[in-house]
Structure 1
C-alpha cells in the first residue's frame, strides 16, 4: 500500500505541473482548401518581420516550426505551396489574492481590551505574469489566401534561462501544429 501512495503523489504532482504550463490552442481553416495539395513551404519574411518580438525569439519560433513541418512531411522550397507567417501578442496579467494570512500574538487595542492578546491578520498578495499569444498562419501561394491559422495562448516565462525559454517556445509551436492539418482532427 505504501508503494502505491509513493507513486501516486509524484504522478499527481507531475499532472499539476503539466496542467499549469499548458498552452490553450485554437485553430481555424478554409473549408474549401484541399490540404492534401500542400507539400512544400517557405517562410513569409514580410509577415515575420512585423512580429514584435526579438530576432532571437523569431529564430527560435521558426526553428520549432521547421521541425514540426518536417515531421509532417513538408519540405522547404524556393517555389512553395504554402507561406508560413507568424504574429505575436502579449498581455500583462495581474492577479490579486485577498484573504486571511495568519494570526499573531502581541500588544494591541480593541474597543473592549488593551494589552497583550491574539489577533488576526488579513492581507493581499499581488502577482503578475505575461500571457502570450502566438499565431501561425499558412497562406496558399497560388491564390495568396490564408488557408489555416493556429493560435496558442499561454503564460510566458521571463526567466534568464535560455533553455527553458526555448523549451517553452517549442511547446507552444508543437501544440499549435498538432491542429494541422484540420482534416486529420476531424477524423479523430
Structure 2
C-alpha cells in the first residue's frame, strides 16, 4: 500500500482523535462558499458542542467550544448575541480495525525474469503468511460556520485523526487541533 493510500485511510478521523490519541497527526480539509463576502462578517456566536451519545465527554466538548471561541477572537471577530456568523462543531468517533499481512517465502527454486526463466526447477519450500490487526478510533471534528443573514453554510473545516489512546494533554491537543482546522478561516486571509 502506498503512503498516499495509507494517508487517505487515516483521513476519516479528528476530534476524537482529540479525545483518544497521544498527539496523533490531524489531517485537515476545508471548503467554503466562494460567493460569500467574508470581509462583511464581524461578529460570531459559538453553539456549544454537546456530548453526543457518550462519544465525547462534557469536558472535551467544553474544550472544543473554548478553543473555537479563542480562535475566532484571535482572528479579530467579536462575540455577540446577535452575530453575523454562527459557529458549530460536530464530532464523530468510530472504532476501526486495520489488518495487514506479510508473506515470507522460503526454499529455493527458479524465478522468471523478463528475458527468460532462471533457476533450478520448481519452487521447493513454501511460504508463511502472518496477519496483524490494529484497533484504533477514527475521529473527526467538523467545524461549520453559517451566515445568520441567510442561514447558509459559508465555511466548513474538517479534521481527521487516527487515535490509539488518550492524549497526555487533552487541552493542548484540542487547542492545537482546532487551530489547525481553522487556519484557513476566513478564506484569503494572509497567514502569519
Partner of 1:177: 182
Instruction: Give the direction of change, closer, same or farther, for the CA distance of 1:61–1:27 in structure 2 (3 Å limit).
Output: same
Matched, 1:78 2:103: no
- Whole-angstrom CA distance in 1 between matches of 2:163 and 2:172: 11
RMSD: 2.8
Compute the TM-score of the two structures, normalised by the length of structure 1.
0.67
Structure in which a larger fraction of residues adopt helix: 1
Partner of 1:29: 32
- Whole-angstrom CA distance in 2 between matches of 1:24 and 1:173: 12
- The answer to which structure, 1 or 2, has the higher relative contact order (CA under 8 A, 6+ apart) is 2
Q: Where do 4+ consecutive residues of structure 1 move more than 3 Å?
A: 48-52, 120-124
Secondary structure (helix, strand or coil) at the match of 1:142 reads coil
Cα drift, residue 150 of structure 1: 0.7
Compute the TM-score of the two structures, normalised by the length of structure 2.
0.66
- How many aligned residue pairs are there? 147
Cα drift, residue 99 of structure 1: 2.8
Partner of 1:166: 171
Cα drift, residue 129 of structure 1: 0.9
- Whole-angstrom CA distance in 2 between matches of 1:34 and 1:71: 20
- Whole-angstrom CA distance in 1 between matches of 2:172 and 2:157: 19
Secondary structure (helix, strand or coil) at the match of 1:177 reads helix
Cα drift, residue 149 of structure 1: 0.8
Partner of 1:126: 133
Cα drift, residue 60 of structure 1: 0.7
1:50–1:87 Cα contact (<8 Å) kept:
no
2:84–2:148 Cα contact (<8 Å) kept:
yes
Cα drift, residue 122 of structure 1: 5.7
Deviation string 1:124-148 (CA, Å, 9 cap, x unpaired) is 3321111111110111111111111
Residue 142 of structure 2, aligned match among 130, 135, 138: 135
- Whole-angstrom CA distance in 2 between matches of 1:42 and 1:56: 20
Return 5+ residue gaps in structure 1 as ranges.
1-19, 102-119
Partner of 1:104: none
1:85–1:136 Cα contact (<8 Å) kept:
yes
